[in-house]
Chain A
């Protein structure tokens, strides 16, 4: 009985305190209502984007091309060679051809893309892509070692993707 009363008085004392603090119910993510995602696109030798606010990023994940907007579910994606499409604030879009790497979506609308090489499409030479593709195709269908053929097939795949991106 004694302890019950103690609890009661404690509750009474606590009551006015809690009623003065008028914090609304907080729910996850709601306060970060920004519709921007902070993008970092980094190479071993250069940071192209450094926590820059952008609207959307389309990445060539191994499981397919995916678009990342603000408040995306945290995930790690392995990338294949392909075009990273960045829609910046104001609607301008930028395209980079990356070699592959990893994209990490972190909580709080952060996206980090790590790649070995990334260049804008206008930095490529269409002619040398074609020449390399012919060369790689020759090795891929040739009678080299299994290892050579497998590597040439990778090269063909990468170059075909690049060629398609340059045409489009």
Chain B
């Protein structure tokens, strides 16, 4: 049934991320470790004023608990 997920309010972008996540989790041990390391990201933000870096604010990580 095509587009069943779309009717339920899931965007294609979301569909892709769910599918990719499912694939990564289904891999054999070695490939899975590599794939999951790749999807790890962290985000920090800080404002620059007068040529000086302000305080860095940590916005989180994609790493799953």
Chain A positions within 8 Å of B, measured between CB atoms, are 45, 62-63, 78, 80-81, 97, 99-101, 116-117, 119, 123-125, 128-129, 132, 136, 146-147, 149-151, 153-155, 157-159, 162
Contacts and interface: CB of A to CB of B under 8 A. Distances in A.
Contacts of B5: 150, 153-154, 157
Contacts of A154: 5, 10, 14-15, 18-19
A97 B14 contact: no
Given A63-B2, A101-B16, A159 B22 contact: yes
Interface string B1-34: 0111100111010111111101111111101100
Contacts of B9: 146-147, 150
A116 B8 contact: no
A153 B8 contact: yes
Please classify how large the interface on chain B is, using the bins under 10, 10 to 19, 20 to 34, 35 or more.
Answer: 20 to 34
A119 B19 contact: no
User: Which has the most chain B C-beta neighbours within 10 Å: A62, A78, A80, A117?
Assistant: A117
Contacts of B10: 150-151, 154
B26 A132 contact: yes
B55 to A, nearest CB: 32
Contacts of A153: 4-5, 8
A157 B3 CA distance: 11
Nearest to A163: B26
Given A45-B38, A100-B16, A117-B20, A129 B2 contact: no
A82 to B, nearest CB: 10
Given A151-B10, A153-B5, A125 B28 contact: yes
A100 B13 CA distance: 10
Contacts of B26: 124-125, 128-129, 132, 159, 162
A162 B25 CA distance: 12
B3 A99 contact: no
Contacts of A45: 38
User: Which has the most chain B C-beta neighbours within 10 Å: A150, A153, A162?
Assistant: A150
Contacts of B14: 151, 154
A67 B9 CA distance: 30
A40 B17 CA distance: 21
